[in-house]
Amino acid sequence: MKLVAWDFDGVLNKGYQGGFFLWQESFEADLGVSAEVFTEFMFGSNQFDAVLTGKRDLLHLLSEWTRAHAPALQPEAVLDYWLAKDAHPDPQVLGWLDACGLPGVIATNNEAHRARYIWETMGFQTRLQKIFASGPLGVKKPAPGFFEAIEAWSGHAPHDIMLIDDAEKNIRAAAARGWQTFHFTDETREDLPQVLGVTR
């Protein structure tokens, strides 16, 4: 194994717990607007797919939402709030990442604003070599083009790259290309140190 590609949400970040996103918990109390209405607007149709693949800027979509549901709020402020509230790095997984000593990248379905926040504000640029995010790439997992971009950048053969991801469809797609894979779940997470060669 020459490179590890780490999924972000569900692996490095644990913002989704107990059947809901943690940012939803205090959304209404903090912003005075229903989290349910916000969630339905953002994710209730296929319009967010265009954001995830870079065809549309997230701020434009947030501007539509604020005009319709929260005219007193600025879209930039909502974005800053959302990004901060969605940052819940998993300290145990980060410990394994740091201890394994293997070159690594982030491989995530995220748009450009959040990708930059993850890399710069959350500080993952000090831990990993690069972030591959669906928005800037224009393609999201599990499409072949996403994995091709990592292969081309790294120069490694598929069998020398491992994907760690919590989504089974992404694991299947990477395995079909010849990648090594680790399906990260609550049941398998304790097996990850051994796979990475980390001694506990």
Predicted pLDDT of residue 43 = 92
Predicted pLDDT of residue 127 = 96
DSSP state, residue 45: S
Q: Taking the domains of the chain in order of start, what are their residue ranges?
A: 3-16+89-196, 17-85
Nearest to 108 by CA among 5, 182, 1, 3: 5
Predicted pLDDT of residue 17 = 75
Instruction: Determine contact, residues 146/176, Cβ cutoff 8 Å.
Output: no
3-state secondary structure (DSSP) of residue 188: coil
Instruction: Determine contact, residues 5/132, Cβ cutoff 8 Å.
Output: yes
Please report, in tens digits, the pLDDT of each residue of the chain (200 residues total): 999 999 999 999 998 876 778 999 999 999 999 999 999 999 988 889 999 999 999 999 999 999 999 999 999 999 999 999 999 999 999 999 999 999 999 999 999 999 999 999 999 999 999 999 999 999 999 999 999 999 999 999 999 999 999 999 999 999 999 999 999 999 999 999 999 999 86
DSSP state, residue 118: I
CATH fold group of domain 3-16+89-196? Rossmann fold (3.40.50)
**Can you read off the two tokens belonging to residue 149?**
């971009």
Predicted pLDDT of residue 45 = 82
Predicted pLDDT of residue 200 = 63
Predicted pLDDT of residue 106 = 98
